[in-house]
Amino acid sequence: MADRVNVFAGSHFDRLGHRRRDRDWLDEALQNGRAAFIPVYNDRSLVLTDPGPSAVMLEPGELASELHDGAILLGEFGDRICFAVDVGEGEPGQAPAFSSGSFRGLRTVGLTFPQDQAALLAYAQAMVLWHRRHRYCGRCGAPSQGNDCGHALHCTEPGCGQVIFPRIDPAIIVLVEHDGRALLGRQPSWPEGVYSTVAGFVEPGESLEDAVRREVAEETGVTVGGVSYHSSQPWPFPSSLMLGFRAVATEPSISLNDNELEDAQWFSREDLASSLQNGRLRVPPQLSISSRLIAHWYDDGVTGRLAAVIDALTRG
């Protein structure tokens, strides 16, 4: 499992959870030269792509002082204390200008970044998007107010006082196999030729294993027996956690039951490799856990590394 660290995942920095209520320490962090701000505009991060991909960390003086109060503590990254900050929403061409960098989507550039920086930017984006979606109390409708350095929101209505904490939406994603073949499907909105693994959100009152079996049956009609955990991936677009599994089908007949997919097929390793090479088939890039699931399944059965093939083809 050591090599199964997906993009946006990994313990690359100290989140400093014990410091979120320490106002004196936070004030000192903002004044001692170690503070750095990670800006988010719309759903994009400020990055440099030339000469090499890197996150832009703003100094306190580069940011309007009124934005400091709403900064969200991310943690200690190297020698910096990092804060996420919302610098607005609007048309892409209206993004605020800084001395360096441009705002780019992580789905586009995330794979090119060092693993630790990709995780930091994804964390910043997830926290900012959570704040935007919870400006008002879901119980009484009053405005909410940030606490714990952005990691809790309190309803401002005294008679309510609800406390809101960040939530994530768990979703399963699964590589189903049967008799040396893998089950892949495609949605009608995807680019031509792209096939991926089955995925879907976990429903209330449902275990992860049950969600795997239900989603596969709903989307493809295939019946799943054994289910085993593979790895997970934060997917902050805006707040999902992808939980990856491998599963074995007990009844492989395909029937598209819920119109989620326009096609689903079983692919042998030979079919997969040849279809990728000749361009008849495309899979998600290695940014996605789906690509990792497909590559690890392939590599379990043959000599060679399909991940390298996928990487070369999807980068091109």
**Can you give the CATH number for the domain in which 242 is found?**
3.90.79.10
148, two tokens: 């714990």
Instruction: Report yes or no on 7 lying in a domain.
Output: no
Please indicate, yes or no, whether residues 222 and 235 belong to a single structural domain of this protein: yes
How far from 280 is each of 116, 195, 274, 301, 302, CA to CA, in Å?
Answer: 34, 10, 9, 22, 21
Please indicate, yes or no, whether residues 214 and 229 belong to a single structural domain of this protein: yes
pLDDT for residue 154 is more than 80: yes
Please indicate, yes or no, whether residues 32 and 103 belong to a single structural domain of this protein: yes
Count: domains in the chain: 3
Percent of the chain, pLDDT > 90? 78
Please indicate, yes or no, whether residues 155 and 71 belong to a single structural domain of this protein: no
Please indicate, yes or no, whether residues 114 and 228 belong to a single structural domain of this protein: no
Which amino acid appears at position 115 of this protein? Q
Please indicate, yes or no, whether residues 46 and 145 belong to a single structural domain of this protein: no
Kind and range of the H or E element at 274?
helix 269-278
Instruction: Report yes or no on 220 lying in a domain.
Output: yes
Class of residue 37 by CB neighbours under 10 A (exposed 0-12, middle 13-18, buried 19+): buried
pLDDT for residue 70 is more than 60: yes
Ranges of beta strands (E only) in 179-271 are 181-186, 198-201, 223-235, 240-251, 263-268
Classify the phi-psi angles of 150: left when phi > 0, otherwise alpha if psi is within -120 to 50, otherwise beta: left
Q: Which pLDDT value is given to residue 265? A: 97
Q: What is the pLDDT of residues 2-47, one digit of tens each?
A: 455 799 999 999 999 999 999 999 889 888 889 999 999 999 999 9
State the Cα–Cα distance between residues 182 and 269, nearest whole angstrom: 8
- Is the bond into 234 cis (omega within 30 degrees of 0)? no
- Domain range for 287 is 169-315
Instruction: Report yes or no on 5 lying in a domain.
Output: no
Average pLDDT of the chain is 92
Instruction: Report yes or no on 1 lying in a domain.
Output: no
pTM: 0.90
Please indicate, yes or no, whether residues 267 and 228 belong to a single structural domain of this protein: yes
Please indicate, yes or no, whether residues 156 and 173 belong to a single structural domain of this protein: no
pLDDT for residue 224 is more than 90: yes
Instruction: Report yes or no on 2 lying in a domain.
Output: no
